[in-house]
Amino acid sequence: MDQPNKVNGKTAEDVRPKTGQPSPVPDHEDEIFGKAYDFQLIRRLWRFLVPYRRLFWLAMLVLPLQQLFALTQPYIMKVAIDRYIAGAQLWGLQGMALLFLFALVGEVVTAYLHYYLTMLVAQRSLADLRVAIFTHVQKLPMSYFDRNPVGRLVTRMTTDVDVLQEMFAAGVMTLISDFLMVAWIVVIMFTLHVQLALVSLALTPFMLLAINFFRVKARRTYRLIRERIARINAYLGEAISGMAVIQLFVREQNSYREFDELNGAHREANQLSNIYEAGLYSMVEAVGTVSIGLLLWYGGGEVLHGIIGIGTLVAFKEYLHRFFVPLRDFSQKYTVMQSAMSAAERIVHLLDTPIAISSPAKPVVPKPFRGAVSFEDVWFNYKPNDPVLKGVSFNVAPGEKVAIVGATGSGKTTTIKLLSRFYDIQRGSIKVGGADVRDWDLQALRRHIGVVLQDVFLFSGDIRSNLCLGNGAVPEERVLEAVKYTNSDRFVSRLAGGLDAKVRERGSNFSTGQRQLLSLARVLVFQPEILVLDEATSSVDTETESLIQDALEKVMKDRTCLVIAHRLSTIRNADRIIVLHHGEVREVGSHAELMQKQGIYYRLYQLQYQMEEQKRGGLIGEAKV
């Protein structure tokens, strides 16, 4: 990189890819390095604060109160020393001590109140933000999930939102209060004694310049650090996934050297930043001490000349002390702000991702609904200029059972995904119940179609929740019936808790066959008019296989069925077979008809189904050397 240290400016734009059109390559949005302050972003996120604006303003109102309590303390000291100690008035001194205690308690209580209110606002609005992101992600089209790794989306909702929380806890709000505090102190000092204030604060302009210098430096190194840790991250991720290759080619030393280089560069940037930060911190402390010296020198004279009392000197010293603390902490808060802004930018970026597939404003509701399906000249591609379906047309009458067959990559799976409108087609039309899927209410459409995919996905929870999928209105009898009907009761009844038996993540505590049976039971609970089924190719034991076949026949009864068939029995039971080949419908007919034709189906049959049946029956593989 030629100019990694651009001082002003386009930090985010530099790194962020031009978005708008989806690219097959995942964009590196994790590497956005934000500015510390971006008005646009803040305005976008402000709407999450709006519902809690009362609390927010209350928190802001507490601030001046807190500062009032804090800043009266030095003044109380002044009065106590100049008036009551100098005047030897014990009762007055006691009064002042009590007053001091009052101010102190006031400060502690208001400080806590401010923090509490701020955190309340932060927690609530960020919880809303998390829900907003989650809700938005639910609406994104499948194509988005094909492109974006799960891990990154999880980070958006967890780590990135937590970074924003960190900003509330340590950054923005206190930054405002810090600024106010510094301003108050200056006002008070000038009110107390103008010349003394001028002398005490004489070094401040120079210090502000120096702080700015450090800030710029620190920002540069901070950017470097972010860049370099991102590189270490990328390199490490790659090395871990490619460890076999590194070991096979005995390149451990080379990649160690490369890693060492990145690691060293990261250390170097950090150590530089450490020096800047140590310098900044120490300088503020030093200026604070020197200012006290100045105060003594000029103020001492004033006291000796009898113009002010010692108490004023003490009060000035106290004010100076409080003046420098926020300045000292500034750089730390600045860093927090910066990472918060880049997190905010990534979140807004995700929230701005278009939903692409949504229900029309006035959806059509075909009534009475019967499960007819038709594809008319459907063209579809995932990537431009690489069509997967080329003018596919076919009709399925209500109640008809149609098997779709074809070689790998012929477009079978795509066809059934299009029916539920997981993707939108480029040309032609797909109709369900006589209405185009794009005119349907998305949710209503999908509720009419029961989908069983090869890899059965079970959610963690229990069996019941997986069968009802949160639909509390399902009567218990229906669930029990579905379990029994699909032969699932054979293993469910053996489990501790029956329907309440726990399901671990992705259903890993159930066998493939059991998961398939449960997915069929799920269809029965939902009672869809149309069943879309991608039969699993993985083999299960003979007993389970016969249970599945039995259940399948029952589930398919009285339904419109579109099945990607891998079982010979399924094909034989189908009313019609559609043969897809290279994205086109090439043959249609019954098993007998197509076999007679000796075309694609004939070969497919020999290639896939004959073998499949033999394998399921365990006929092959017995010959030994």
The Cα 388–Cα 409 span in angstroms is: 8
> Measured from the CB of residue 623, what is the shortest distance to another protein in angstroms?
5
Q: Is 88 in the site for another protein (CB under 8 A)?
A: yes
Query: Which residues in the 568-597 window bind another protein by CB under 8 A?
Result: 581, 586
Query: If binding is defined by CB under 8 A, does position 460 make contact with another protein?
Result: yes
CB contact at 8 A, 316 and 200: yes
For 522, counting Cβ atoms within 10 Å of its Cβ (0-12 exposed, 13-18 middle, 19+ buried), the class is buried
Query: Site map for another protein, 411-450, x if CB under 8 A?
Result: ---------x-x-------------------xx--xx-x-
- Closest C-alpha to 429, from 384, 364, 370: 364
Asked if 192 is part of the footprint of another protein (rule: CB under 8 A), the reply reads no
Out of 139, 215, 427, 554, name the contact with another protein by CB under 8 A. Answer: 139
Helix, strand or coil, per DSSP, at residue 427:
strand
Residues 6 or more apart from 141 whose CB is under 8 A from it? 355, 356, 357, 422, 423, 424
Q: How far is the CB of 23 from another protein (least distance, A)?
A: 11
Residue that the structure tokens 């009392």 belong to:
309
Q: Is 66 or 573 the residue whose CB approaches another protein more closely? A: 66
Check residue 417 and report its DSSP letter.
H
Among 9, 205, 470, 475, binds another protein (CB under 8 A): 470
User: Nearest approach, Cβ of 370 to another protein (angstroms)?
Assistant: 20
Nearer to another protein, 283 or 571 (CB): 283
C-alpha 465/C-alpha 449 separation (Å) is 19
- For another protein, the closer of residues 575 and 593 by Cβ is 593
Residues near another protein (CB under 8 A), total: 146
Smallest gap from residue 533 Cβ to another protein (A)? 12
> Which lies closer to another protein via its Cβ, residue 224 or residue 573?
224
Binding mask 486-525 for another protein (x = CB under 8 A): -------------------xx---------------x---
Residue 142 CB, shortest distance to another protein, in Å, is 7
Q: Is 471 in the site for another protein (CB under 8 A)?
A: yes
And the tokens for 573? 């039971």
* Selected binder of another protein within 3, 21, 135, 191 (CB under 8 A): 135
Q: Which stretch binds another protein (CB under 8 A): 35-43, 180-188, 394-402, 602-610?
A: 602-610
DSSP helix/strand/coil, 7: coil
> By CB under 8 A, what part of segment 168-187 binds another protein?
169
Phi, psi angle pair for 2, to nearest 5°:
-75, -45
Q: Is 391 near another protein (CB under 8 A)?
A: no
Burial environment of residue 139 by CB neighbours within 10 A (0 to 12, 13 to 18, 19 or more): middle
**Least distance CB 219 / another protein (angstroms):** 18
Shorter beta-carbon distance to another protein: residue 232 or 480: 232
Strand, helix or coil at 625?
Answer: coil
Q: Reduced to 3 states, what is the DSSP secondary structure of residue 337? A: helix
Query: Between 50 and 286, whose beta carbon lies closer to another protein?
Result: 286
Grouping H, G, I as helix, E, B as strand and the rest as coil, residue 590 is: coil
Please select the residue that binds another protein; options are 142, 180, 188, 351, rule is CB under 8 A. 142
**134-142, 176-184, 204-212, 342-350 -> range binding another protein (CB under 8 A):** 134-142
Alpha-carbon distance of 491 to 493, in angstroms, equals: 5
Q: Which of residues 15-34 bind another protein (CB under 8 A)?
A: 24-26
Is 453 near another protein (CB under 8 A)? yes
DSSP per-residue codes, 357-410? S---SS-B--SS----EEEEEEEEESSTT-EEEEEEEEEE-TT-EEEEE--TTS
CB of 375 to another protein, least distance (A): 19
d(C-alpha 371, C-alpha 528), whole Å: 9
**C-beta closer to another protein: residue 40 or 271:** 271
Q: Does 476 bind another protein (CB under 8 A)?
A: no
- The residue within the footprint of another protein, chosen from 11, 32, 211, 288 (CB under 8 A), is 288
Spell out, one character per residue from 292 to 331, where the chain touches another protein: x when CB under 8 A holds, - when not. Answer: xxx-xx--xx-xx-----x--xx--xx--x----------
Q: How far is the CB of 9 from another protein (least distance, A)?
A: 27
Residue 173 φ/ψ, nearest 5 degrees:
-60, -45
Q: Which is nearer to another protein, 14 or 258 (CB)?
A: 258
> Residues 41, 173, 287, 563: which binds another protein (CB under 8 A)?
287
Query: Minimal distance in Å, beta carbon 448 to another protein?
Result: 10
Query: Is 65 one of the binding residues for another protein (CB under 8 A)?
Result: no
Task: Identify the CA nearest to 327 among candidates 122, 196, 119, 186.
Answer: 186
Whether the CB-CB separation of 58 and 52 falls below 8 Å is answered with no
CB atoms within 10 A of CB 65: 16
CB 198, min distance to another protein, A: 16
Which one of residues 164, 201, 283, 404 is an interface residue with another protein (CB under 8 A)? 283
375 binds another protein (CB under 8 A): no
4 touches another protein (CB under 8 A): no
* DSSP annotation of 440: B
Minimum separation from the CB atom of position 60 to another protein (A) = 16
Describe the crossing of helices 252-304 and 310-351 by its angle, rounded to 10 degrees.
150
Of 435 and 453, which has the nearer Cβ to another protein? 453
Which one-letter DSSP state was computed for residue 9? Answer: S
35, 44, 251, 370: which one contacts another protein (CB under 8 A)? 251
Check binding of 112 to another protein (CB under 8 A): yes
Two structure tokens written together for 190: 């000038």
Range 80-85, long-range pairs (CB < 8 A, 24+ positions): 80/311, 81/309, 81/310, 81/311, 81/314, 82/309, 82/310, 82/311, 82/312, 83/311, 85/311
**Residues 206-235 close enough to bind another protein by CB under 8 A:** 229, 232-234
Q: Which is nearer to another protein, 77 or 337 (CB)?
A: 77
Question: Can you tell me which of 80, 336, 492, 555 binds another protein, judged by CB under 8 A?
Answer: 80
**305 phi, psi to nearest 5 deg:** -80, 0
Contact between 173 and 117 (Cβ < 8 Å): no
- The Cα 548–Cα 560 span in angstroms is 19
CA distances from 505 to 458, 466, 500 (A): 7, 12, 15
Chain residues 258-277 in contact with another protein, contact rule CB under 8 A: 259-260, 263-264, 266-267, 270-271, 274-275, 277
